[in-house]
Amino acid sequence: MSGEIFSQEHQIVYYETDQTGKLSIPMIFNLAILASANQSKLLGQGEEQVHANKNGWVVLQYDLHITKRPQNGDVIVIKTQAQEYNPYFAVRNFWLETSTGEELVKIKSIFAMIDMEQRKMIRIPQDIMDAYQATKVKYIDKIPAPQTIDATLPTVKQAYHVRYLDIDSNQHVNNAQYFDWLIDPLGTEFLQSHELVNLNIKYATEVRYGQEVESHFQVFDNQMTTVHQIKVGESINTEASLKWRKIIN
């Protein structure tokens, strides 16, 4: 049995949308994390409690499926649930739904817990998982790795400088920020004629303030798949594969 589902309502406002007038992808992740933060607080396992023990949650991977993005003014319901865990990994689901229960967006995610000072993974404390009532399993329901860059083919790349406002109150680049670096190099012509349907993103190492990142991509499948890497020098910080549908006007 999985943990209880937590729900909260949210009305989309203009600054949460992108140039299409629909909820932006970074904001989808922000709203998802907001709901899980609110659930955690309710269960006495909020950021303050976790940080007090010098521990912190980090996201390792997201698998996002979009049926339809809500738009400015829409009232949606954000839902989240701790699905299952083993000693090192926790699986959490998120949904965005219309107020009548129609699924708009689904995200599956894998989290781990780290010692904030040593930046090393630790066993997830039992009392935390008990609070969420998540199922303890031997092997978690993994997310397949994103399709990887074909090293025999060239990539298109663009450099980005990590800005002061990209850093959040945890002193790291906000996870939602990576999406900006992923898609911007695709260019406006591609982005205005394609709608994202799936994003599989895997974070390997953290990008730090002041670093210069390089966002690389390759296009496959008659423009229906793009495959991405975020690199700092030779180190791969993030890998992602994105699936698209053509917008027919």
Provide the binding-site residues for its own copies, judged by CB under 8 A. Answer: 13-15, 17-21, 24, 26-27, 30, 33-34, 37, 72, 158, 161, 163-165, 167-169, 171, 174, 176, 180, 183-184, 186-188, 191, 209-210
Q: State which residue, 2 or 158, has the beta carbon closest to its own copies.
A: 158
Q: State which residue, 132 or 160, has the beta carbon closest to its own copies.
A: 160
Shortest distance in whole angstroms from residue 191 CB to its own copies: 5
Shortest distance in whole angstroms from residue 93 CB to its own copies: 20
Shortest distance in whole angstroms from residue 173 CB to its own copies: 10
Shortest distance in whole angstroms from residue 10 CB to its own copies: 10
Q: State which residue, 151 or 165, has the beta carbon closest to its own copies.
A: 165
Q: State which residue, 44 or 210, has the beta carbon closest to its own copies.
A: 210
Phi and psi at 89, nearest 5°, equal -130, 145
Q: State which residue, 89 or 196, has the beta carbon closest to its own copies.
A: 196
Shortest distance in whole angstroms from residue 15 CB to its own copies: 4
